[in-house]
Amino acid sequence: MFIRHETIEKNVILMVVLTLITVSIGGLVQIIPLFTIESTIERVDGVRPYSPLEQMGRNIYVREGCYLCHSQQIRPFKDEVERYGPYSLAAESMYDRPFQWGSKRTGPDLARVGGRYSNDWHVAHLVSPRAVVPESVMPAYPFLAQRKLDYADIADHLKALRAVGTPYSDEMIANARADLVAQVNPDADPTALLKRYPRAVVGKFNGQSEAITELDALIAYLQMMGTLVRFGDLPPERLRQ
């Protein structure tokens, strides 16, 4: 025998090295194909990086821990598809860093919440959930409507995301502040914003305040969620993994 049982068991370094090799084979067999299999991320049109305002809203979503009660993943089961809409695609989470799929549904799944309710409803509901849904157990977030959005460093957020692989262009980073302000101003011309971020929802999301609040950013994020891929035009074979 090339390596004796006893030799391994009595030599800690050798045992650690051999253990690591054994464990990493198991890991690599599972992980490497995820990067190389072409069907993992479906080839669909429409998914784009988050607009600066949506990205700030997403940061608030992460900060408040929304994922602890709300999943963002509609599974391919009949009951879920009937309730929430088309099942989530891997492609739709392509620019999620970190992803917010969640693993628990105390509240409903939010993967397709975009466009489902009016901005006014989101304001009323986030400020006081039980004012609109009496049976809700969600905490209230009235402070989001008061707190001004701190977006001085928005360009840095986009740069950091670019460093880990999100394809923000130089133009997007240079215009980050302008795009953020434009998305929350219904009177501004949204052409440049929509060219960079197609299908972005423009509006004064929080009608209760003239300033740009954290609530504006969060609602902008919620209103785009799950709206980028047009499922009607998608042939089913494109979705087969």
Partner 1 sequence: MPTKIEKDVLSGQDTTGHEWDGIKELNTPLPTWWVYTFYVTIVFAVVYCALYPSWPWFTGHTQGLLGYSNRTELTRELDAQAKERAAFVDRIRAASLADIRKDPELFNFAMAGGRSAFQTNCMQCHGAGGAGNTGFPNLVDDDWLWGGNIDQIYATIQHGVRNADDNSRQSLMPRFGADGILTAPQVAAVTDYVLSLSGHGKATPEGAKIWQEQCVACHQADGKGNQELGAPNLTDGIWLYGGDRDSIYRSIFFARNGSMPAWGQRLDDATIKMLAVYVHSLGGGR
Residues that bind partner 1 in the complex, under the rule CB under 8 A: 1, 4-6, 29-30, 32-34, 36-39, 76-78, 81-83, 85, 87, 115-121, 124-125, 131-135, 207, 236, 239-241
Q: Rounded to whole angstroms, how far apart are CA atoms 241 and 238?
A: 8
Q: Rounded to whole angstroms, how far apart are CA atoms 162 and 49?
A: 10
Tokens, residue 178: 């302008």
Cβ-based nearer residue to partner 1, 59 or 119: 119
- What are the two backbone dihedrals, phi and then psi, of residue 206, each rounded to the nearest 5 degrees? -100, 95
Cβ-based nearer residue to partner 1, 116 or 159: 116
Q: Rounded to whole angstroms, how far apart are CA atoms 156 and 172?
A: 12
Quote the least distance from Cβ 54 to partner 1, whole Å.
Answer: 17
- Estimate the share of the chain in helix, then strand, then coil, as percent rounded to the nearest 5: 50, 0, 50
Cβ-based nearer residue to partner 1, 4 or 195: 4
Cβ-based nearer residue to partner 1, 27 or 98: 27
Quote the least distance from Cβ 159 to partner 1, whole Å.
Answer: 32
Quote the least distance from Cβ 203 to partner 1, whole Å.
Answer: 10
Q: Which amino acid is at 104?
A: K
Quote the least distance from Cβ 193 to partner 1, whole Å.
Answer: 15
Strands (E), the chain: none
Task: For residue 177, count other CB atoms closer than 10 A to its CB.
Answer: 15
Cβ–Cβ under 8 Å, residues 209 and 112: no
Cβ-based nearer residue to partner 1, 60 or 74: 74
Quote the least distance from Cβ 124 to partner 1, whole Å.
Answer: 6
